[in-house]
Structure 1
């Protein structure tokens, strides 16, 4: 894939497709397959699409935004009390400039908070040292932060399981093909706060630099402020992905692309908050069972061809990706 330069690129007039999940949840076999085919078209193109009729209540989404805004407005000492450097599972607060997603550029203009499935310190997966498995760090304030996030996390896991059935259909596989992958999944919920892009920011400094996601499936909840852009490799332009009420932006990551032998696309995207306001977004990363084997899926390899990648596991793939990004062994 051709990489965009750090220079500004013209904007594409292309838009991302919007797919209803109604028939995936309650339609007959042919209706569910039609949803799978729509997902396939999107994944063969950019690997990005929007979903509606997803079943997540707008009231719960707003509660997540409210709690995130309250947390990020806390004094720095309060946020640092749950710094993710204190966690064995990469959970907690990441300060402004704590990540550089695009190599060779200044640190990203965002702060974040990471959480995932709650596993006690004596859980077998934690004792075994599986990647990103462990307890969350919970801030003392706001007081409703934990119950809201735990409810949202549970519902997002259910929605991701539904989408994995759609992805199976998109690949002409049985609907339950990914059920073992969905057992005891590794998940990450990130709360992100993007301050307005400073007028004196470096030309190549952004809210989130151009990057692809590491794993399986990403579901992004956006507030009312634009900023997300997706790279269109066909015309070498950026596609704006503004917030559309009632939708999530969905994309596949590097691991799922690898799983399909790069048939499906894991595509560069970035965030530039030019709204003049604080921007909040909530990406949810669904990565599957850490022990699940990832090797070329049926139907993704031409006759006589060899897979592009050796087999791996979810756990091993994530350790490799985090090691490249943070410059140390995981």
Structure 2
């Protein structure tokens, strides 16, 4: 292994310890990607790895009761693990407002943003972070993100959230809740679950997390990653992309990646590990990644729909009632969550934690 760039420790100190993030580093006028952010050659997303033959479905959900909508969603969840939805009912002005709010927050001076840095924030329900898990990574991701815990109890700390974006975050979350509920009802119906009672609601959707993701313009975007390949540990994830794109999904052939193009007003939906486990592999949580952008600052806003912290999950009884063997054991979400955030993004290896 070649010797490490002597500037690396200084960059870690500036970006992480001094709470400037990658935004602060870019603001100093860096003209090339520091070694700390450069991916090994084999991990970079070159043109030869991008599939031009596949695309994930775009589903019109204006009529949730249409059996074809149910069929399309469940089929996409099983085959692709990803799909986009249009005519979902979240107003376009709400979507535009939360994207603008993300730009406003990351446009604040470093010292203002730094007030919300993880471990320094006035409340643990909102935290500014950089990369993914810097203490566990040898290569950093080209991103900062502001993370909001959004359970009903967490929302009580709303007055302590950043004034430049808190109203828009809550409006986006509240507008998305009926869509989340409908999606989970459809997906569970596909697993022969008749209704989402209070217990299942807690296991499926009690602790959402909403992130404002920020990917600043990158001088050498081909060398680095906005997010390295991983699957989400959520039940499902609802993602709002901006017009600059950058999301890629692992193709079914495993050897290539499919670009998910931005569609005006659409929400990108993906299955998380939790739902793959609960469905005993009927639904798939698929690896995805985000590329850096060489010309513009990019934002996106995912809502990670998570179980309650002390919820346990495993294959659903309805899935196993025909005698099918469970592929996963019962796991506490808090343990799964802690394990995921103890290491770098590493594909789908987190799921080994729950395998029988």
Aligned counterpart, 1:125: none
Q: 2:209 aligns with which of 147, 167, 188?
A: 188
Equivalent pair of 1:52/1:247 in contact (CA under 8 Å): yes
1:38: which partner in 2? 72
For the residues of structure 1 that align with 2:288 and 2:68, how far apart are their CA atoms?
Answer: 27
The answer to whether the Cα contact below 8 Å between 1:37 and 1:169 also exists between their aligned partners in 2 is no
- Of residues 16, 30, 54, the one that matches 2:88 is 54
Find the counterpart in structure 1 of residue 178 from structure 2: 158
Q: Does 1:295 align with 2:334?
A: no
Q: Aligned in 2, Cα 1:140/1:38: closer, same or farther, shift over 3 Å?
A: closer
Deviates more, 1:305-314 or 1:186-195: 305-314
Deviations along 1:210-269, one digit per CA (max 9) or x if unpaired, are: 111111110100111021000013252100001011211100111111111222111110
Per the alignment, residue 240 of structure 2 pairs with: 221
TM-fit CA distance, 1:65:
1.3
What is aligned with 1:18? Answer: 58
| Higher alpha-carbon deviation: 281-290 or 303-312 | 303-312
Any conservation in 1 of the 2:133–2:341 contact (CA below 8 Å)?
A: no
Which of the residues 170, 187, 202 maps onto 1:167?
A: 187
Distance 1:79 1:49 in 2: 33
Alignment check: 8 A CA contact 2:249 2:260 kept: yes
Show the counterpart of 1:92.
127
Which residue of the partner structure matches residue 126 of structure 1?
none
User: Number of matched residues?
Assistant: 299
- Displacement of 1:284 in angstroms is 0.7
What is the distance in 2 between the residues matched to 1:272 and 1:110? 10
Q: Report the Cα distance in structure 2 between the residues aligned to 1:159 and 1:272, rounded to whole angstroms.
A: 28
Q: Classify 1:20/1:271 alpha carbon distance in 2 versus 1 (closer, same or farther; 3 Å).
A: same
Alignment deviations for residues 260-308 of structure 1 (CA, whole Å, 9 cap, x no partner)? 1222111110111335111110011111333433121245449554312
140 and 100 in structure 1: CA distance in 2 versus 1, 3 angstrom threshold: closer
Contact preservation (8 Å) 2:137, 2:344: no
Q: In the alignment, which residue of structure 2 is the partner of 1:197?
A: 218
What is the root-mean-square deviation of aligned Cα atoms in Å? 2.9
Unaligned runs of 5+ in 1: 122-132
Superposed displacement of residue 309, structure 1: 1.4
1:128 is matched with which residue?
Answer: none
Aligned 8 A contact 1:118 1:134 in 2: no
CA contact (8 A) 1:215 1:318 kept: no
Given candidates 124, 132, 145, the residue that maps to 1:112 is: 145
Alignment partners' CA distance in 2, 1:151 and 1:318: 26
1:151 CA drift (Å): 1.7
Please point out which of 301, 304, 307 is paired with 1:282: 301
Give the Cα separation in 2 of the matches to 1:150 and 1:137: 12
Q: Comparing 278-287 with 306-315, which one deviates more in the overlay? A: 306-315
The whole-number CA distance in structure 2 between the counterparts of 1:109 and 1:255 is: 27
How many angstroms does 1:41 deviate by?
1.0
TM-score (norm: length of structure 1) = 0.81
Structure 2: distance between partners of 1:45 and 1:105: 33
Offset of residue 182 of structure 1: 2.6
Partners of 1:300 and 1:118 lie apart in 2 by 28
Give, in whole Å, the separation in 2 of the partners of 1:202 and 1:277.
14
Structure with the higher helix share, 1 or 2: 2
Matches of 1:202 and 1:38 in 2, distance apart? Answer: 35
Distance in 2 (alpha carbons) for counterparts of 1:180 and 1:120: 18
**Deviation for aligned residue 1:139:** 5.0
